[in-house]
A = this chain, B = another copy of it.
C-alpha cells in the first residue's frame, strides 16, 4: 500500500522516544491511542504497543493480526486476547513492582487504566506530553505526506467558485465540495486528540451562520443541522453580499492540513473586505517572523496587536467567546503542538507543522479571515499551498 513509512523512519521515531524515556527514568511506555500507534508503527490495528526504554518494542495485536506485516513493522509482534496477556508480556519484559510505566493518561479512559493497574504492578506516569512534543517536529517523510494532503485540498478549494450560485444552501454547497474531496481520496476520518472532540471534516458558514459560536475550541462555530450536533453547516440559503467562510481539513494519508478561504456572490461590504485584508496581513506578518527560536506567544501577541491597531480586536478570533490561540500544530491529529497562544513561552523549531488562522467574527453578519498550513524553516514559514488568500467574489 502507498505511503507506508520505511522501517528506518519508524526506528528513528521509536529511538527518539526511547531517549526521552531514558532521560526521565521511565522503564517503558504502553501506548494505546490510535494516532500514537500510527506514529510509531505506520499503521493501526486493535493493538497495544510496548516501547521499553532499552531494547525492542512489542506490538500486541488483538485484531487484525492478518493486517500486520512483520516485514514492514520493525517490532516484535504478539497476539493478545485480554489485559492479562498484556500483563504477562510486560512482566516478561521486566515491568514489575519497582518499574515506572508511561501511558497516555490524557486520553486513556479511567476504566481501561484501572483494569491495567490491577494487572500490572508498577508505578504509572503520564507520557502524553512527551509524545506530543516528539510528534510536533515532523520528519521530511511526514512533510511529504502533508504536501500530498495540501495538494488535494488546494484542488478542492479551486473548484468552489464554479459551484457557487445564488440560493444554493450551505448544506448543498458543502455536499458538492465534499464529493470532490472524497473523490480525490479524502479519507474522511479526522483525528482530534482528547475527549468529546465531536468533529466533521469541514464547515461552510455563510452570512450570519459564520457568527454563531459553538462548543468547539475554534474561532468558528455554526448552527449545524440538528441540536444533537450543533456545529457547522446549516440549511441557510446563500445570498448576494454574504461572506462565505469555507474551512476544511484535508487528508489523503492520515496527515491533515487545514485551510480556510472566503467567497462571496456579487460583492462584500467594505468593512468585511477591510477585515479580510487585515487577516491576510496578520498571517503574512506571522509567516515572515516565525522561525526557529521565536516564542509561540510572541506570534500570538503580534497578531493581537495588529488586530488592535486595525481597530478590530472586538471581532478577532471570536466575538463574545474568543479562543486564545491564532494557530495550532497539525499532523496525525488536528490539535497538535505548537499552540500559537497566549502566554506560551516555548520556542518554534525547524520542521514544526502549523495552521495559522487569523479570523474575524461579526455576530449577525458572518466570519472572514484566512487559514493555511505551514512548515517552520530557518528563514520563516513555508506555505503548503499557493492558492490566493484574497476573498473570491463570483
Contacts and interface: CB of A to CB of B under 8 A. Distances in A.
Interface of A: 1-4, 32-34, 38, 42-47, 63-67, 103, 105-114, 126, 128, 171-172, 174-176, 178-179, 182-183, 185, 187-189, 191, 194-196, 198-201, 212-217, 221, 223-230, 232, 235, 252-255, 320-321, 332
A224 B187 contact: yes
Contacts of A112: 195
Given A63-B217, A179-B179, A188-B200, 9 more contacts: A38-B228, A44-B198, A45-B214, A67-B214, A105-B109, A105-B110, A111-B126, A187-B200, A228-B332
Contacts of A195: 32-33, 107-109, 112
Contacts of A174: 182
8 contacts: A42-B228, A44-B229, A64-B221, A109-B110, A174-B182, A189-B199, A189-B200, A189-B229
Contacts of A107: 109, 195
A83 to B, nearest CB: 13
A3 B227 CA distance: 7
Given A67-B213, A227-B1, A172 B183 contact: yes
Contacts of A46: 196, 215-217
A198 B215 CA distance: 21
Contact of A254 (B42, B44, B229): B229
Contacts of A321: 63-66
A330 B43 CA distance: 29
Contacts of A67: 212-215, 221, 230
A108 B199 CA distance: 18
A337 B38 CA distance: 30
Contacts of A43: 227-228, 230
Given A32-B195, A226-B253, A227-B42, A108 B109 contact: yes
Nearest to A172: B183
Given A43-B230, A107-B109, A226-B252, A198 B191 contact: yes
Contact of A47 (B126, B194, B215): B215
Contacts of A178: 178-179, 182
A226 to B, nearest CB: 4
Nearest to A202: B188
Given A32-B195, A174-B182, A227 B45 contact: no
Given A107-B195, A183-B171, A252 B225 contact: yes
